[in-house]
A = this chain, B = another copy of it.
Amino acid sequence: MRRPVSTTLTRIFPILSWSKTYSRQDAAQDGLAAVIVTIMLIPQSLAYAMLAGMPPEAGLYASILPIIAYAIFGSSRVLAVGPVAVVSLMTAAALGSVAESGTADYATAALTLAALSGAMLFGMGLLRMGFIANFLSHPVIAGFITASAVLIAMGQIGPLIGVKMTGASLPELVESFWAGKAAFNWQTLVIGALGLAFLSWVRRRMKPALRSLGVGPVLADVLTKAGPVVAVAASTLAVWGFGLDVAVVGAVPAALPPFTSPSFDLALIRELAMPAFLISIVGFVESVSVAQTLAARKRQRIRPDQELIGLGAANLAAGFSGGFPVTGGFARSVVNADAGAATPAAGIYTALGLAVAALALTPLLYFLPKATLAATIIVAVLGLVDLSILKKTWGYSRADFAAVAGTILVTLALGVEAGISTGVILSIALHLWRTSRPHVAEVGLVAGTQHFRNILRYEVITDPSVLSLRIDESLYFANTRYLEDLILERTAEDQNLRHVILMCSAVNEIDMTALETLEALMMHLKDRGIALHLSEVKGPVMDRLQRSSFLDHLTGRVFLSQHEAFVSLTGQA
């Protein structure tokens, strides 16, 4: 089937699908949403730039062109991309091993990391590899985000009280805190603590408070979103007015995003490739789940492969315009959607708003205390800490629990890259481990039906000459030897046995290794005068068996149903 060209273009550039019918009403909604999101993003962008070890303006730049690139290519109507907490932490961890924060090398490495990540995401999108995100299980992601949030919050305690802290893991953070604790500064602590208290109040109580004062819902919302801006303005004024001796942001150039080029140094690219891949996957998973949640509210759907392209374009844009790795953020996207954004044009307006900020407002940031930014970060990430996943998985599945606990512990102890890698490897390894020792049930006929169930769980009819085994797993290389041993053991002592039926209702595949093992098993059983039968073999599995020589020398038969097999071999009805 060939699609018309216009449909194909619309698939590649989702912007074409909404721009043609863009209405005045849409523009009004998008404009309001853009104002709210812009107000929210100014302090957040500065803060996440600090978290990533970048100069503050880089946070603004990372939100301008990337937003526009995503608006052109992304499939979500309300996703807002830019620097987010976990990806910024991963960026700092990746760059920390190649350059010193604050140097030109560090900034170049950040551009390279963003461009690499962008190229990977874009490439995966073209290859339709969105499925790769499925190998991160929900519990592993939940555990990783919780542990990352703890690391981020711990790391911001330093700037909050005037102590310099560096490190990519809990032990490193504690050590650097201990080493630098002499720099502790009362003035910084006061600003930090006030900021933290105010921002927590804004987050939890300000909106109800305003509403109870009779403020309308939209205004209350805008004012609440402006809370961090108030904290920024008030603390900046305090430092300037009282001449406080605290760490401040300092000189920030007033400029539009510059054109920058990532490095093409192969050694650097090789060193950053793995972190870029991990950042891509984590960013993609986080972004897609936000986009899906928001799309589901409006009965829209997003296309994961197109999201890869959209995020790839955004990161490439970040790499060429003075930014660092970005992805779709939860908080900003929810705010954007709640504020009524109708189309991705809201993102474009936000980008314009931030460009104005980068041009006009940056000189005002000189006296902005870093402690205020640290408070902003801490309040934002503490909302991500959710240990309930440990309890939930403990009750449901020990394997899932082990994967979560392993991810959390390794992330805290060794850092984000080791943590997320451990999560993926652990969940795959545990899955393989479980499927390598499958459940095998001896089944019998449930009286009055044609249904066969486990003899240990149900009152069923059996026959001494027939052993019916339901194998609850595909037969493949990792479990075939285990199953052979198990079946040989179960059949070893039984003198009356003449038939073994393998009920294959749960066998979704028989690979080459398993086929060879089945042949060996059949010969073993034949030596003892026992025939091997198969029942309920599924279509795709049967197709494949017919292409091999296995069925030619099968000592028993293949039955359509277990009931037919049982009746035919025992004469019982």
Partner-B contacts on A (CB < 8 A): 131, 133-140, 296, 392-393, 395-397, 399-400, 427-428, 431-432, 434-439, 441, 446, 449-451, 453-454, 457, 472-474, 476-482, 505-509, 511-513, 515-516, 520, 524, 538-540, 544, 547-548, 560-561, 563-564
Contact = CB atoms under 8 A, between A and B. Distances in A.
A481 B134 contact: yes
Contacts of A392: 512
10 contacts: A131-B436, A134-B477, A135-B477, A135-B478, A138-B512, A397-B511, A428-B428, A439-B508, A454-B539, A505-B505
B449 A561 contact: yes
Question: A436, A446, A478 — which one has the most chain B CB atoms within 10 A of its CB?
Answer: A478
A397 B138 CA distance: 31
Given A134-B481, A450-B450, A473 B508 contact: yes
4 closest A-B pairs by CB: A137-B477, A450-B450, A400-B512, A138-B513
Contacts of A482: 131, 134
A448 to B, nearest CB: 10
Contacts of A481: 131, 133-134
Given A393-B512, A396-B548, A505-B506, 16 more contacts: A134-B478, A135-B432, A137-B511, A137-B512, A138-B477, A296-B520, A396-B512, A396-B544, A400-B513, A428-B428, A431-B511, A435-B474, A449-B563, A473-B474, A506-B506, A506-B508
B538 A439 contact: yes
Given A396-B547, A474-B435, A538-B439, A134 B479 contact: yes
A117 to B, nearest CB: 22
Contact of A137 (B446, B472, B513, B560): B513
A509 B138 contact: no
Given A436-B131, A544-B397, A138 B516 contact: yes
Contacts of A524: 296
Nearest to A509: B434
Given A138-B477, A138-B512, A451 B450 contact: yes
B472 A508 contact: yes
Nearest to A512: B400
B561 A451 contact: yes
Nearest to A472: B508
A245 to B, nearest CB: 48
A18 to B, nearest CB: 22
Interface centre among A400, A473, A511 (most CB of B within 10 A): A511
A571 to B, nearest CB: 18
Of A140, A446, A505, A508, chain B has the most CB atoms within 10 Å of the CB of A508
Given A548-B396, A563-B449, A134 B505 contact: no
B438 A432 contact: no
Contacts of A560: 446, 451, 453
A540 B439 contact: yes
Nearest to A400: B512
A539 B443 CA distance: 12
A397 B548 CA distance: 10
A361 B432 CA distance: 52
A565 to B, nearest CB: 11
A276 to B, nearest CB: 21
Contacts of A509: 434
A136 B508 contact: no
A539 B397 contact: no
Contacts of A140: 477
A449 B474 CA distance: 26
Contacts of A400: 511-513
Contacts of A135: 432, 436, 477-478
A302 to B, nearest CB: 11
A139 B512 contact: yes
A506 B505 CA distance: 6
A457 B516 contact: no
Contacts of A547: 395-396
A472 B513 contact: no
Contacts of A439: 508, 538, 540
A438 B507 CA distance: 12
A491 B96 CA distance: 50
A477 B427 contact: yes
A438 B508 contact: yes
Contact of A512 (B397, B473, B474, B479): B397
A476 B539 CA distance: 22
A428 B432 contact: yes
B435 A539 contact: no
A476 to B, nearest CB: 6
Contacts of A438: 508
